[in-house]
Chain A
Amino acid sequence: MNDGVNGVALAVFIFFFLAVTVMGFLAARWRKAESDSLDEWGLGGRSFGTWVTWFLLGGDLYTAYTFVAVPAAIYAAGAAGFFAVPYTILVYPLIFTFLPRLWSVSHKHGYVTTSDFVRGRFGSKGLSLAVALTGILATMPYIALQLVGIQAVLDVMGVGGGEDTNWFIKDLPLLIAFGVLAAYTYSSGLRAPALIAFVKDTLIYIVIAVAIIYIPIKLGGFDDIFAKASEAYGQTNPATGAPRGALVPAEAGQWTYATLALGSALALFMYPHSITATLSSKSREVIRRNTTILPLYSLMLGLLALLGFMAIAAGIKVQNGQLAIPQLFETMFPDWFAGVAFAAIGIGALVPAAIMSIAAANLFTRNIYKDFIKPDATPAQETKVSKLVSLLVKVGALAFVLTMDKTVAINFQLLGGIWILQTFPALVGGLFTRWFHRWALLAGWAVGMVYGTVAAYGVASPTQKHFGGSSKEIPGIGEIGYIGLTAFVLNVVVTVVLTFALKAMKAPDGVDETSPEDYTADAGDPGVQVELPPATAGSAH
């Protein structure tokens, strides 16, 4: 760590941060409709077109933590960290198949969350509650990790303070950043991150473009960079007695690589914040079109991952891998541009943190508050509860980061990925078929959750006794694979077997309020106004 505050970088950072804050508050007036329903605050009035959705989804999925963690993983171990690229490649063909169906049925029935859909499709409040709780649990540590991303940047700029500073001074910048974020999310809802995402992504694209050209030139080209990296990976890590990493995954690591990519791709659009950004778009076409332009971010992620090698070649030595990239920027760039890069990462944390807290709040409001506590809540009350919960969620995440060790947040994030994948059969299965039985889905979910948690608990690493990683031997195959995917397969098997059993026993199937044509409806089709009283749907016949 360098000593002293980097004044120029800090000034640039503060400038962008202030600009974004003003935008966040002004966003409340952007495309404002005269309504105080949850659709307005929590989904931006379901009004976003192709480009806004692109920025919003990009800003949402490729978070500050991603930007810090992916190159950090490469920096630490090489090839294994690159799985993020095939992962984001596979996401888009996958969502091409099911996301438009989710959009249509949600638009037709006024669903705000995935749990809303699951309740409507399977007539099961229990299953819907399971999906909602999983979503909230998985999102909380994700928000906390965004804070870790900001902290890394603040540390490198010298305002994070050393280990010996008073905790209050040390955390003050973080508290301010989050206070401001909470305030404009509260007042502007999803419109705030949508508008700020423009700034965030523009900055990120500029920084990556410059970094990927400028840094290799300074370091003597990619040949030198990879030669140095290869040498560094070959050295033995004293903690494990094995080499630090490799430029290419060895035979044994290939299963892990593939299962991590596939499992993560399946999980990504189960996260509530991905769905919130999806449902805010104004038509079905917007979603499909976005699957063809979102991969631009994957390309960027791949380039960004290469920065991990550059950090090694540049001789960056950090204890905490998370600091490798901010430190690389600080070393390589002139101060003012380092400030731009730090602003990109910092703002990159605010956008997803805002969307995640909105998504978690929507889940709580719709699927816990309205379903179990106050069934007759008016739309205005729903919005009020959601706004308050979005604050609570953020305070919770902040407390989490400030009171617990960073590794706890990372462990929970790892578990969150395993957990959220267990909602896949109910959600995606439900979008295509009503064959699965609701109780079977609930049982499958429970089995997947328990297996995933227990298995992850049992993974040790040189530094941690539990939750040391996300892969473990796959029972019956013997290769090392992603725990989330193993749990998912188990989940599906249990669901299918129990569905057969329950159908044979003629267990009550629950009421399905959707009909087949709901899944292909587009905006403008007759009857596809967002849920007025159910009677109006009859006019379409």
Chain B
Amino acid sequence: MPEAPEARPPVVTPVRVVIALCLFVPFVAMLWVGSYAKTDPAFIGIPFFYWYQMAWVLISTALTMIAYQLWRRDQRGRSSRKGGVAE
């Protein structure tokens, strides 16, 4: 990248690592099919395989929401810092 401003905060920060994890965890959970390819325990008669994946719709939504909130906070922090440096 040619014109990086001098006082730029680091690209990788703990908050961003958490964001990346929130987005990455669903991939591990869903692609590891062996971890949930079973019928028991059933929930109101629905085999584990099905309710578990549907529960993950909710879990991954919650994770994406967390990522979204953290990202907004991160961006706000950055833009206010940037405003101070003058652009």
A residues with a Cβ closer than 8 A to B are 79, 82, 85-86, 88-90, 92-94, 96-97, 221-226, 247-251, 254-255, 257-258, 261-262, 288-289, 291-292, 295-296, 298-299, 302-303, 305-306, 516
Contact = CB atoms under 8 A, between A and B. Distances in A.
B85 interface: no
A291 B4 CA distance: 30
A105 B5 CA distance: 20
A323 to B, nearest CB: 23
Nearest to A296: B61
Contact of A96 (B23, B30, B58): B23
B49 A248 contact: yes
The CB with the most chain B CB atoms within 10 A, among A88, A94, A298, is that of A298
Contacts of B63: 93
Contacts of A224: 45
B53 A82 contact: yes
A167 to B, nearest CB: 41
A90 B38 contact: no
The CB with the most chain A CB atoms within 10 A, among B23, B26, B31, is that of B31
A-B CB proximity, top 10 nearest: A222-B45, A223-B45, A86-B30, A254-B33, A93-B23, A295-B61, A302-B54, A258-B31, A292-B65, A298-B57
Interface of B: 1, 22-24, 26-27, 30-34, 37-39, 42, 44-47, 49-50, 53-54, 56-58, 60-61, 63-65, 67-68, 71
Contact of B57 (A221, A258, A295): A295
22 contacts: A82-B50, A85-B54, A89-B26, A89-B30, A89-B57, A89-B60, A93-B23, A93-B26, A94-B23, A97-B23, A226-B42, A226-B46, A247-B39, A248-B47, A250-B37, A254-B34, A254-B37, A262-B27, A292-B61, A298-B57, A302-B50, A306-B46
A248 B38 contact: yes
Contacts of A89: 26, 30, 53, 56-57, 60
A194 B1 CA distance: 39
A86 B31 CA distance: 8
B67 A299 contact: no
B45 A288 contact: no
A94 B39 CA distance: 29
Contacts of A226: 42, 45-47
A79 B23 CA distance: 26
B53 A86 contact: yes
B65 A85 contact: no
Nearest to A224: B45
Contacts of A302: 50, 53-54, 57
B68 A295 contact: no
Contacts of A96: 23, 64, 67-68
A401 to B, nearest CB: 32
A342 B60 CA distance: 31
B44 A222 contact: yes
